[in-house]
Amino acid sequence: MFIDRITINVKSGKGGDGAVSFRREKYVPNGGPDGGDGGKGGSIILESDSSLNSLSQFRYKRAFTALGGDNGSKNNRSGKDAGDLVIKLPVGTVVFDGSTGEMLADFTEHGQQKVACRGGRGGKGNARFANSRRQSPKFAKPGDDPEERQLLLELKIIADVGLIGFPNAGKSTLLAAVTNAKPKIADYRFTTLTPNLGVASYKNSEEFVIADIPGLIEGASAGAGLGLEFLRHIERTRLLLHLVDLSSYEGPVMDRFHAINAELASYSQTIAERPMAVCLTKTDLISDSAYISDLESSFAEMGYECFAISSATGSGIPELLGYIAKTLPTIPKQLPLLGQSDLIIHRVDTSDEYSVEFEDGIWRLEGEMPRRLLMTVNLDDYESSQYFQRVLKNKGVFDYLEELGIQDGDTLEIMGYQFDYYK
């Protein structure tokens, strides 16, 4: 099953906790602290893989969680780091933040890697907090919490040439005639339900990729038919071949041609301005050569290269391939949606590190930083509580509180613990 748009949830691994431990050996009555550090949690890494052509691997599994790091232990033994979890994506996948809609990454080449959620750092063991004045610290640092986010994955096929036109315009037949692709072909609307890719070349030219984009109809850019689902795949093509079926009874050729162009412009003006050539298809079913010549002249006056072709007989195909081979080198490859230097999509939000409120005569300090700091210390231990105060001071919390107007003797509540504030 072809899937080109899906939402997944990813979560990195928690960092292992640092250990609180003291040497306890025979003949060593006053052994020092020997708690080891926790191991690093696994990160979530996205990697592009050219062997994939759909997001169907996420159809039944949409939640991914990396392993956490091991806790530290005695004898200064550090916990084992967890391995990273690599999620493979097709080349051409664009990644968006599922909550904000922000575009985070764009995979345009095989083997690109980007970090979606960074694994939590391991916490420090109590041996790390020992110094000449604090020789027996009874506290350690817990590992960092994991990161979690929702990602919207959107696949946009990467091709050199995109075949567009109404259903049954002959796109699948042309693709089968010039490449080894074997698309489904039949005489009814929306035979093509997924983009098909094929590789072609002309004489000694470089190979180029042709994409058969599912047929568009009027109103596609507004969601009618299947158009909106596959218009995104046109974004990656360098050259558009607009196929018009001469044997169709669905209205004049020019009306159908302008209708499709109007849909492209409604979806994206950039796409509407992309280089385009016109193919008049199924000419073997038309006996009026003057009619074909008039159409070719009309399109030429509009500035389009025009080719009258028949995929059934091969008429006009060599000329079309020759034009593609000559034109593609003059068209710059489409730039990725993000710069290639944006190799990491990890974001750190420090805006809610801590906050202060004053209510009913009590100053309240809350947030991620004080919460994690309280997890680190043992407030019943003098040295640990001194460490707690020193961290708050170094973080600028006390200076900030004094700017807000806190006075000596005021009550300061930190995550449910109340203290008397003194400078």
Q: Of all helices (H) and strands (E), which one includes residue 159?
A: none
In Å, what is the CA distance from 81 to each residue of 13, 17, 68, 344? 10, 12, 8, 21
Spatial separation of the C-alpha atoms in residues 267 and 283, rounded to whole Å: 30
For each of the chain's 423 residues, which pLDDT tens digit applies? 456 778 999 999 999 999 998 887 776 666 789 999 999 999 999 999 988 877 888 988 999 999 999 999 998 899 999 999 999 998 888 898 888 888 888 888 888 989 999 999 999 998 888 887 778 888 888 888 899 999 999 887 778 898 888 877 788 888 888 876 554 444 444 444 567 778 888 888 888 888 887 756 555 444 444 444 567 777 778 899 999 999 877 778 898 899 888 888 887 788 888 899 999 999 988 888 899 999 999 999 999 999 999 988 999 999 999 999 999 999 887 655 544 333 334 343 434 478 888 887 888 888 878 887 777 677 777 777 777 888 888 888 888 888 888 888 888 888 778 888 876
Closest CA to 104 of 349, 346, 350: 346
Rounded Cα distance between 95 and 383, Å, is 47
The model's pTM is 0.63
Residues whose CB falls within 8 Å of the CB of residue 243, separated by 6 or more in sequence, listed in order: 163, 164, 165, 169, 170, 171, 174, 279, 281
**Nearest one of 192, 197, 190 to 53, comparing CA atoms:** 197
CB burial of 335-361 (b: ≥16 within 10 Å; e: otherwise) equals: ebebeeeeeebeeeeeeeebebeeeee
**C-alpha to C-alpha distance for 74 and 20, rounded to whole angstroms:** 8
Given the structure tokens 């899906």, which residue do they identify? 6
